[in-house]
Chains A and B, each alone.
Chain A
């Protein structure tokens, strides 16, 4: 760590810059329409947000936590629909 002395006082200034990265998913809504948790957080079954709890987009451009939409799609006996717009759910390619 580098300390520089301020010539006008005996106070030491800390010139080291603490960079903290921030990130956010590039989704239009802020919360998942299924679990209602923030997209920048994770689904209720995960502990940490990020790559382990990704967002996924449908062909209709609605986004959900991957884990949430999979639970919905797998719970349907016939073709699942998008929870937001009711179009047939297809993962965006």
Chain B
């Protein structure tokens, strides 16, 4: 997987660790519905359990998100991937990479782990078919050496799901 990718190599800056500590406290007081943060002592990598929303294709299914924070978070987006097995979804590749604009070009430093989680759950919930992206095999083959999805040049072509 992408565990050794650039996103987690450099230590967090002061502004990053400061903000993450605030986000962690806020998460503990008011966690987003359907998510559980698996507690570790690593502020730079969060593993978060996601429960598929009731009444959607992913109801009663549980997945894991891995969130790695770069040195200059929140000026840079976190790297967010699904740990295997990744949910079957038209925008989620079998290597766990997620095609979602806010994780790349449309990132804003006003976003939080919590708001990113809600966007991902909303993306899952609006899916009408459980299938991989059309170019899954080609893409996954391209990322074989543990490339981060942040190095991918994404092409966002579908705003329906």
- Chain A residues within 8 Å of B, Cβ to Cβ: 33-37, 43-45, 68, 71-72, 75, 81, 83-84, 86
Contact = CB atoms under 8 A, between A and B. Distances in A.
Given A36-B23, A75-B72, A43 B108 contact: no
A43 B18 CA distance: 10
Nearest to B106: A86
A83 B117 CA distance: 18
- Chain A's interface: helix, strand, loop or mixed, by majority? loop
Size category of the B interface is 10 to 19
Contacts of B23: 36
Contacts of A71: 15, 72, 75
**Which of A36, A45, A71, A81 has most B Cβ within 10 Å?**
A36
Interface of B: 14-15, 18-19, 22-23, 72, 74-76, 108-110
Contact of A43 (B15, B72, B110): B15
A33 B115 CA distance: 13
Contacts of B22: 36-37
Given A44-B14, A83-B108, A84-B110, A36 B19 contact: yes
24 contacts: A33-B110, A34-B74, A34-B109, A34-B110, A35-B18, A35-B19, A36-B23, A37-B18, A37-B22, A43-B15, A44-B15, A44-B18, A45-B15, A68-B15, A68-B109, A71-B72, A72-B75, A75-B72, A75-B75, A81-B108, A83-B109, A83-B110, A84-B108, A86-B108
